Chain A
C-alpha cells in the first residue's frame, strides 16, 4: 500500500471533521508556538546581553582580590591583597599588555551647594578611559600629574552631572565628597545601563587621592588589564598570575589570593543564565506540547472506535495489520504536523508582536523551529501509536458487526 494513498485517506479523515481536527491540533499549535516564541525571547535576551558585555571593552582581563570560590564567584569584600604597585608591575613586566587600570569603588555622599547625591566614587588611574573604553565628553580626565600630586579633582558621570548641575556648567565647580572639596575637571560620555546597574551614576577621582584623602587605605579592589589581542589572552593571564604569586610571596602550596577573569568568562556567566532561562521557558512550552499530544491520542481513540466498521471492511478486503497501523499513525502525524506548521507561524508572528508591543529583543532561531517541529512529529508518532495498534489488532468479524 503506497504512501500517497495513505496520506490521502488520512487527509480525508481529517477534513471530514474540520472543527474536531482543529481543536485537536490546538494543543500542538499552542505548544509549538510557545516553544518558538519563548526560545526567541530567550535568544533575543542573550544576544542583547552579549552585545552589552562586549561594549564594556575588548581583550580585557579582570583581576580581583580574593580567591575564586562558589563556582567561579570571587569573594572580594575584605580582601586587601592587590595594590597600585601590583598594577604598575603588570604593566611593566607582563608581555602583550597595552594598558592597566587599577580601581577602587566606594559609595559616598557627593554635595554641590544644596544638591546632594548618594553615588559610587570610583577611584581610578589615568589609563581608565583607554582600558575601559569610557571617555570624557567635556573637560579632561585624570592626568598622571593629578595622580602624583594626589590632586583633589573629579570627573562626573552623566547621571551625577545631571542631578548636581541641572542648569549650570559643572566644569570648574567645587563639590564635596565626604566633606573633602574637589574641583570638577570633566564630564564623562553617557554609557547607559548594564542590567540594573547605571554606569553613568558615578564620580571618578584619582586613585592616590582616594586612598590617602578619602578612605585612608592602600589597596585596590580590581585591576583591569588590556591585552593586545584575544589570542594573547591566555599567555597574559598565566603571566600576570605568575607575577602576582611572586609579588605576594605565595609558596607553591598556597592558593592564589587573587582571581583573574576574562571578558569571555563574564560573557559565559551571562549566557549561562540566559541559557537556563531559555531552557526553562522552552521546557514549560514543551509540557504544553505533550498535553497537545494527549489530546491527539484521545481523539484518535475516539476515531478508531467510530471507524471500527471501516477497519473491518479494510481487513476483509485484504488490509494487513501493518496497513491499518500505518494508516492511523499517518493520520495522527498529519494532525500533529499540521498543528506544528500553524504553531511555527503563530510563534514567529507572536515574537514579532512581543518585540513591537513590549520592546523585548527576540531572535527566531532555525534550530528552535526545527526542534519544535520534530518534537511535534514525535508527539504525533508517540501518541498515535497506541490508538493505531488498537485499530490494527481489531478482530475483523467483530469490527464488521460494529454499528
Chain B
C-alpha cells in the first residue's frame, strides 16, 4: 500500500476577494521508504503541497489518502494527532522554542502525545543526531547546523511514518548543509520516508526521486541515480 496518495488535489487561496490557485490538480504517490526531493520556482506550489502533505492545510478539491485513510474529511483534533504521531517536520528557520533547552524542544511532541518517560527518548534522539552533549543548551547557544539537527531529533523522536523537510539547508553554510544531508541519507538508509523541498539541485541530488513543480502542477517526476561520490555529500 502506498504511504501517500494525492489525487487531483487543488488548492485555491482567497486573497482580498480574489481567488488565487496554488495547486491545479496534483496527483502524487509516495511509497514507504522513498526519499523524494521536490523542486520548483517560488510560487510553483511546492510549499502548499508540503503543507497539505503534513496535514497543516486542507485541499480545496481532490483526495488525500494517508496509509489508505482519506484525511481530507478528518476533524482538527484528528489532524493534530496525525501531525503528532505520523509526521516529523523540519523547517528552514528551525522553529525551536526560544528559552527552552534542546532536550525539552525534542520532548515537545511527546508532551502532546501524553508520553511520560520523555527524557530518555529525547536524549536517544539527540544522540542519533550527534548532539547528546548539547542537550541542556538553549537554541541561542547552538550554531545553525546544530539547531537544525535538534529539529531533526524532534522530527524523529515519535518514530513518524514520514519526515517532511522544507528547505532544511536554506539558512546553512555548505559544511553544515553537508552534515544535514548526510543525516538525511542515514535516516533514509534506516528506512525513513523523507520528502525534501529545496531550491538547490545539488541538495536535491541526494534524493532517489525528483518531483518538479511549475504553476501549481507537477511537470516532471523521475527517479534519480545514486551518486555517492558527490562532493559535499559524504555517504552516511
Q: Measuring CB to CB, which residues of chain A are less than 8 angstroms from any residue of chain B?
A: 1-2, 5, 12, 16, 309-310, 312-323, 396-397, 400
Quick one: given A2-B114, A318-B85, A321-B77, are A400 and B109 in contact (CB under 8 Å)?
no
B99–A314 touching, CB < 8 Å: no
Find chain B residues with CB under 8 A from A400 CB: 56, 91, 95
12 A/B residue pairs, CB under 8 Å, sorted by A: A12-B100, A16-B99, A310-B97, A313-B95, A313-B96, A313-B97, A317-B83, A317-B89, A320-B76, A323-B112, A397-B51, A400-B56
The one of B77, B85, B89, B99 in contact with A316, judged by C-beta atoms closer than 8 angstroms, is B89
- Of all chain B residues, the one with the shortest Cβ separation from A403 is B93
B80–A1 touching, CB < 8 Å: no
> Is residue B57 contacting chain A, with contact meaning CB distance below 8 A?
yes
A1–B111 touching, CB < 8 Å: yes
B76–A321 touching, CB < 8 Å: yes
> Is residue B81 contacting chain A, with contact meaning CB distance below 8 A?
yes
**How many Å lie between the Cα of A322 and that of B81 in the bound state?**
12
Q: Give a binary string over B72-110; 1 marks a CB under 8 Å from any A CB, 0 the rest.
A: 000011001101110001010001111110000000110
> Is residue B206 contacting chain A, with contact meaning CB distance below 8 A?
no
A316–B56 touching, CB < 8 Å: yes
> Is residue B209 contacting chain A, with contact meaning CB distance below 8 A?
no
Given contacts A2-B114, A321-B77, A397-B57, 7 further A-B contacts (CB under 8 A): A316-B95, A317-B108, A318-B112, A319-B112, A320-B81, A321-B80, A323-B112
A317–B154 touching, CB < 8 Å: yes
Q: Measuring CB to CB, which residues of chain B are less than 8 angstroms from any residue of chain A?
A: 51, 54, 56-57, 76-77, 80-81, 83-85, 89, 91, 95-100, 108-109, 111-114, 116, 154
Quick one: given A318-B85, A318-B109, A320-B112, are A312 and B95 in contact (CB under 8 Å)?
yes
**How many Å lie between the Cα of A321 and that of B78 in the bound state?**
11
Find chain B residues with CB under 8 A from A313 CB: 95-97, 108
**How many Å lie between the Cα of A78 and that of B230 in the bound state?**
117
Find chain B residues with CB under 8 A from A312 CB: 95
Find chain A residues with CB under 8 A from B76 CB: 320-321
Find chain B residues with CB under 8 A from A2 CB: 114, 116
Shortest beta-carbon distance from A10 to chain B in Å: 13
Find chain A residues with CB under 8 A from B98 CB: 310
Closest 7 CB pairs of A and B: A318-B84, A318-B112, A317-B109, A320-B80, A313-B95, A396-B56, A318-B83
Shortest beta-carbon distance from A304 to chain B in Å: 15
Shortest beta-carbon distance from A5 to chain B in Å: 6
The one of A1, A16, A314 in contact with B114, judged by C-beta atoms closer than 8 angstroms, is A1
Find chain A residues with CB under 8 A from B111 CB: 1, 5
Quick one: given A1-B111, A310-B97, are A320 and B89 in contact (CB under 8 Å)?
no
The one of B81, B95, B97, B100 in contact with A318, judged by C-beta atoms closer than 8 angstroms, is B81
Find chain B residues with CB under 8 A from A320 CB: 76-77, 80-81, 112
**How many Å lie between the Cα of A310 and that of B93 in the bound state?**
13
Shortest beta-carbon distance from B87 to chain A in Å: 8
